[in-house]
Amino acid sequence: MYLFGGPDQLYFLTNTLPPGGFYLPSLPWYHANQDWVDRQIAALENHPQALVVINRESRVGDQDLLNYSRRLGQYIHTYYQLEESVLWTYIDVAPG
């Protein structure tokens, strides 16, 4: 399983490791490092069966994951297809 935008706890909760056996959170300063992006793409290329979990709402401050990680996002969009989408939204439920 590859987490694109977290939540990082899923690796522990599912007792899995990311493809390639290493992981750094999807933060803008890592995506600015092209060597790191190359390693992430190589890990997915070497493990094409990996489930990819994307948090499309992931943000760091005013930076959107899908904007600051375009290269990796484009790779995933090109070589993976959406199987299922889970969307949870907040509803205000008054007690009683």
pLDDT digits (tens, 9 = 90+) for 7-35: 889 999 999 999 988 888 889 999 999 99
SS3 64: strand
Name which of 51, 2, 3, 60 is nearest 32 in CA terms: 60
72: in domain:
yes
Total structural domains in the chain?
A: 1
Is the pLDDT confidence value at 89 over 90?
no
What confidence tier does 86 reach under pLDDT thresholds 50, 70, 90? Answer: confident
Q: Residue 26 CA to chain centroid, in angstroms?
A: 7
88: in domain:
no
Q: Backbone phi, then psi, for 64, in 5-degree steps?
A: -90, 135
Is the pLDDT confidence value at 94 over 90?
no
Domain residue limits at 26: 2-79
At 24 the pLDDT is 85
Is the pLDDT confidence value at 6 over 90?
no
Between 66 and 43, the higher pLDDT residue: 43
